[in-house]
């Protein structure tokens, strides 16, 4: 990796971190959801600053080429993100069902039909 590319990658990662913090501060993103992305940005900065570290990590895992290591890490990260999003969707469906049941109970208790609103 050339020095110019290292600088570009580090600058982009730092800008992504700053943008993430701005969005968190404005309340548009939650820290729980953005934490994995922040970890990835930090890892990108570390691997861009110390390219030999990627070679050593690839050798340690048994991956022949460091570029394949990047693809491997990307796939693992995407699988973790998909898993966490699936968990969030399930949790939201459960909360929605509970709210629907509570509203139906309260409407029944008040003697209203759902169409009378």
User: Given pLDDT bands bounded at 50, 70 and 90, which one contains residue 42?
Assistant: very high
User: Given pLDDT bands bounded at 50, 70 and 90, which one contains residue 1?
Assistant: confident
Dihedral sign for Cα 103, 106, 110, 113, please.
positive
User: Given pLDDT bands bounded at 50, 70 and 90, which one contains residue 22?
Assistant: very high
| Nearest residue to 55 (alpha-carbon basis) of 44, 71, 70 | 70
User: Given pLDDT bands bounded at 50, 70 and 90, which one contains residue 115?
Assistant: low
pLDDT tens digits for range 65-81 = 888 888 898 899 889 88
**Residue 69 confidence (pLDDT):** 85
């Amino acid at each position: 990796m050339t020095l110019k590319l290292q600088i570009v990658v580090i600058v982009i990662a730092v800008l992504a971190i700053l943008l993430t913090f701005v969005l968190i501060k404005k309340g548009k993103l939650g820290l729980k959801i953005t934490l994995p992305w922040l970890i990835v940005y930090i890892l990108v900065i570390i691997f861009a600053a110390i390219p030999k570290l990627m070679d050593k990590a690839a050798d340690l895992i048994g991956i022949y080429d460091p570029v394949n290591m990047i693809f491997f890490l990307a796939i693992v990260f995407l699988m973790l993100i998909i898993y966490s999003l699936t968990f969030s969707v399930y949790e939201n469906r459960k909360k929605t069902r509970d709210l629907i049941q509570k509203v139906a109970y309260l409407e029944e208790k008040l003697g209203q039909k759902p169409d009378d609103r």
